[in-house]
Chain A
Amino acid sequence: MKLIRRALGALALACLFAAGLRVRGKGGTPPQHGGWKQLDLPADPT
């Protein structure tokens, strides 16, 4: 019983910590798309 209480306590602490990071963190959203554009081939000199 003591073990379960401790495990639940640790879990609750971890959840609190993660929630804090989630709400207060400043990491922002990582880029979701790469920056691709059409290839510019040099004009044929002829």
Chain B
Amino acid sequence: MTPPADRSVVVVGSGIVGSRVQRLLGGTLPVTVRPWSDLAEPSFSLADHAGPGRVIVLATGGPHSPVAARLATTGASVVSVSDGLGDVSELLELDDAFTAADATLVVGAAMAPGLSGLLAQYLVTRLHQSDEIHVAVHATAGPQCARQHHRALAGRAVGWHDGIWIERPAGSGRELAWFPEPVGARDCYRAEIPDPLLLHRTHPDVGRISARLSATRRDRLTARLPMLRPPHPEGGVGALRIEVRGADQYGARQVAIAGVAEFVGAAAGAMAAVMAEAIHLGEFPAGVVVTSDPTLDTNALLDRVRARGVRLQEFTGVPQHV
């Protein structure tokens, strides 16, 4: 897609993620902020805020697909931080609409999905052949993210397993995942999160793809109940861990692991800002773009995420104890 003439960005939502996107983009692009209530209202006129060349960052809880479908008709590009499985699935179906409008829709521009896809693609390129991708996520950003975390532990977790989609009850399949410090080891469980859907779209040859969320016993016990208390304004330090298993050119088994330990809102804000900037630079094609797409310049995008303060790390093996 050619770089748009109108270099303005509209950030929808002024929560933890929205405010960070605004701050990160504010120095380089003209940014305006709109409340989610405006766009979710069917009578709201999009003409003043959306149009060809503009980038709309949907930095709220969602669902984003109905709004993105309306925005596609205006020719505006959209960056969505949605992490709902159903919502992401519907966003992926808007490929034709955005292609026809010569606009871009970035699906999954948060920490997970989003940074998880970039890191997965980075690790895939490190191996000769990739057989498995496993994603683990710890903590949440703002209150809407916390509510989504709560819902995700009560739904149906999807995973790609030896050529078929499997569904398992969320909260099952405990695995101990070792995140970068200071988060460390956490028990993680299958959850209704869209990472397997997005990773399979760009890596259909990978045999097994799974995603897990960290949770405490209380999280799992109360997952199917209404939230017992209001979520915190912002979660603590969160983390992301991507593990890719495969083989080198001689067939020897290899495992590559990368991760992040960062405030989830900061990582999600950095990802959304980098995606909006890439659209303005004309680096993304028209239609749906997923961050694990091998045709994107993954290293350059990761470099920009890092330049916005997100410390990317890789696991080098368990150190020998003294």
Contacts and interface: CB of A to CB of B under 8 A. Distances in A.
User: A and B: partners?
Assistant: yes
Interface residues of B, number: 23
B302 A39 contact: yes
A35 B316 contact: yes
B314 A29 contact: no
B181 interface: yes
Given A28-B321, A30-B321, A44-B300, A37 B311 contact: no
Contact of A31 (B181, B306, B313, B318): B318
A22 to B, nearest CB: 17
Given A34-B181, A36-B181, A29 B321 contact: yes
A33 interface: yes
Most buried by B among A28, A30, A34, A39: A34
B248 interface: no
A41 B122 CA distance: 9
Interface residues of A, dominant DSSP: loop
Nearest to A39: B312
B184 A36 contact: no
B184 A39 contact: no
A20 to B, nearest CB: 23
B299 interface: yes
Given A34-B180, A36-B180, A41 B318 contact: no
Contacts of B299: 41-42, 44
B251 interface: no
A16 B106 CA distance: 63
B258 A33 contact: no
A35 B321 contact: no
Interface of A: 28-42, 44
22 contacts: A28-B321, A31-B319, A32-B321, A33-B181, A34-B315, A34-B318, A34-B319, A35-B317, A36-B180, A36-B259, A36-B313, A36-B314, A38-B311, A39-B122, A39-B258, A39-B312, A39-B314, A40-B314, A41-B299, A41-B312, A42-B299, A44-B303
Given A31-B319, A36-B316, 17 more contacts: A31-B321, A32-B321, A33-B181, A33-B184, A34-B178, A34-B315, A35-B316, A39-B122, A39-B258, A39-B313, A39-B314, A40-B314, A41-B299, A41-B302, A41-B312, A44-B299, A44-B303
